[in-house]
Structure 1
Amino acid sequence: MPSLLLTVFLLQLAIHMVNTFGASSINALLWRMYNSLPVSKSESSAEQRELKSKFMKVRKELNATSSQDEFAKWAKLRRQHDKLLEQLEKNKASTDSTRSTFDSAVSTLRWLGTNGLRMFMQFWYAKQAMFWIPKGWVPYYAEWLLSFPRAPLGSISIQAWFLACTAIIILVSDALVAVVALVGSFGSKTAQEAKKEPMAFPSEKAGAGDSKEEL
């Protein structure tokens, strides 16, 4: 059943990607994507950015105004400053609450779609063979381990296939990281050697000596 084999591999790959990049980084990326959508929260974020821009402008003008020489102007700017600051704090509290709810919902859906789905598949297909091992290829104890816990003897269980996919993904991932690191270090080393290597210029004295010899 190639479809189930591929599904298990892709699911384990998704779990590995989540563990590699981190749940917080993925949540932050999804939050930015959510804010870019034309929804009410996006409008709230745009309003908050506008308020922040006005606040910084008023604050800059307030700092440049003397409270003694221009008291009336300073008092007016101070009231605007305090009002904008209060609005910013309210918007920030609302945004933080929405962000917390968003992170909680995304984390729950991500777990259900990765580890939760893996646990369900391991239970649902526990008695089903992923594929069969040719008879006589491995000893009896190896057949028992590969079919653990409830798959038919002589077959590969879904648990064993999950472990095999995990091992392959980790090996390929480590190899890619090593190759990228090696290429990067080789490129930086080549650039450093190119900077350190002096350029050869013809000597004026040598040129003068050659001209005398020719004369």
Structure 2
Amino acid sequence: MHPALLILLCVLATSALSAVGHARITSLLSPLYLRLFHARAHAHSRAARAELLRLRLELGGISAQDDFAKWAKMRRRVDKLQVEAEAGNASTQAALSFFALLIRAGMLLATTVFPFVLTTYYGKTPMFFLPPARPNAPEGTTWLGPIGWVLSLTAAPAVSAGVWSTVVTRVLGLAIGAVASVSKDVQGVRSKRAAAQAGTAAGAEGEKAGQKSAVGAGGKGEKKMQ
């Protein structure tokens, strides 16, 4: 695979990860993580919570004055299950916190460290060769002039990996921003249109109600005159 295409795919992947965000990725993958690595503890915690809810409902139907022995026995079971449920919740929260830390570290590696290593590895590899200024121009001279020299740093006379990565990231960011702005404008127009339609419908219903009231009042007046 050509290095330019590889860097382009890397920028697309990192931009997608950044757009989704750490919190959303963590919330989406947390259930899968618990099922794969903490299945037994998670299942036990869920069963304890379900049993605790059932016993609390059953305890609510027992009178402590009429049947104190049964009520006390049920109360001890509820307290024991509550302790187990709290311990299970604490264990689950600790596992989720560790998983969130792993996701954060993984995103740091994927969005910062890996692109840096990739552009450094291909730092002297030309991405695109710049056209010369003229047929007999000195070596390294391009039709972009000094700008061509800046674009070809560490990879003259071609566009370097660092510059290519920066340009792709910038263009992709502008494209994402433009799409988000257009989407926001479209949603705003739809909301205004829906509000206008709702107002028109409410006005029409009000007019119909007024006409019915006027007709009813006219009928009553005619009956009184008769």
Displacement, 1:40?
Answer: 5.2
Alignment TM-score, normalising by the size of structure 2 = 0.77
Indicate conservation of the 8 Å contact 2:22/2:103, yes or no: no
Query: What CA distance in whole angstroms lies between the structure 2 residues aligned with 1:95 and 1:50?
Result: 14
Query: What CA distance in whole angstroms lies between the structure 2 residues aligned with 1:183 and 1:59?
Result: 50
Residue 77 of structure 2 corresponds to which residue in structure 1?
A: 80
Residue 212 of structure 1 corresponds to which residue in structure 2?
A: none
Residue 170 of structure 2 corresponds to which residue in structure 1?
A: 167
Indicate conservation of the 8 Å contact 2:128/2:158, yes or no: yes
Matches within 5 A, 1:178-189: 178-189=181-192
TM-aligned CA distance change 1:33 to 1:60, over 3 Å? same
Matches within 5 A, 1:20-35: 20-35=19-34
Residue 127 of structure 1 corresponds to which residue in structure 2?
A: 124
Residue 213 of structure 1 corresponds to which residue in structure 2?
A: none
Displacement, 1:64?
Answer: 4.1
Among candidates 38, 43, 47, match of residue 41 of structure 1? 38
Displacement, 1:14?
Answer: 2.3
Q: Are residue 65 (structure 1) and residue 68 (structure 2) matched? A: no
Residue 7 of structure 1 corresponds to which residue in structure 2?
A: 6
Higher-Rg member (1/2):
2
TM-aligned CA distance change 1:170 to 1:40, over 3 Å? closer
Residue type of the alignment partner of 2:149: W
Indicate conservation of the 8 Å contact 2:151/2:158, yes or no: yes
TM-aligned CA distance change 1:40 to 1:12, over 3 Å? closer
Residue type of the alignment partner of 2:163: A
Query: What CA distance in whole angstroms lies between the structure 2 residues aligned with 1:114 and 1:195?
Result: 46
User: Cα RMSD (Å) of the superposition?
Assistant: 2.6
Alignment TM-score, normalising by the size of structure 1 = 0.81
Residue type of the alignment partner of 1:48: S
Aligned identity (percent) is 28
Query: What CA distance in whole angstroms lies between the structure 2 residues aligned with 1:80 and 1:182?
Result: 58
Query: What CA distance in whole angstroms lies between the structure 2 residues aligned with 1:114 and 1:3?
Result: 20
Residue 155 of structure 2 corresponds to which residue in structure 1?
A: 151
Among candidates 52, 60, 70, match of residue 49 of structure 2? 52
3-state SS in 1 of match to 2:158: coil
Deviations 1:154-210 (A, max 9, x none): 311111111111111111111111111111111111111111113376x6899xxxx
Indicate conservation of the 8 Å contact 2:3/2:122, yes or no: no
Displacement, 1:146?
Answer: 1.0
Query: What CA distance in whole angstroms lies between the structure 2 residues aligned with 1:40 and 1:167?
Result: 39
Q: How many residues in Structure 1 have an aligned counterpart in Structure 2?
A: 201
Q: Are residue 192 (structure 1) and residue 189 (structure 2) matched? A: no
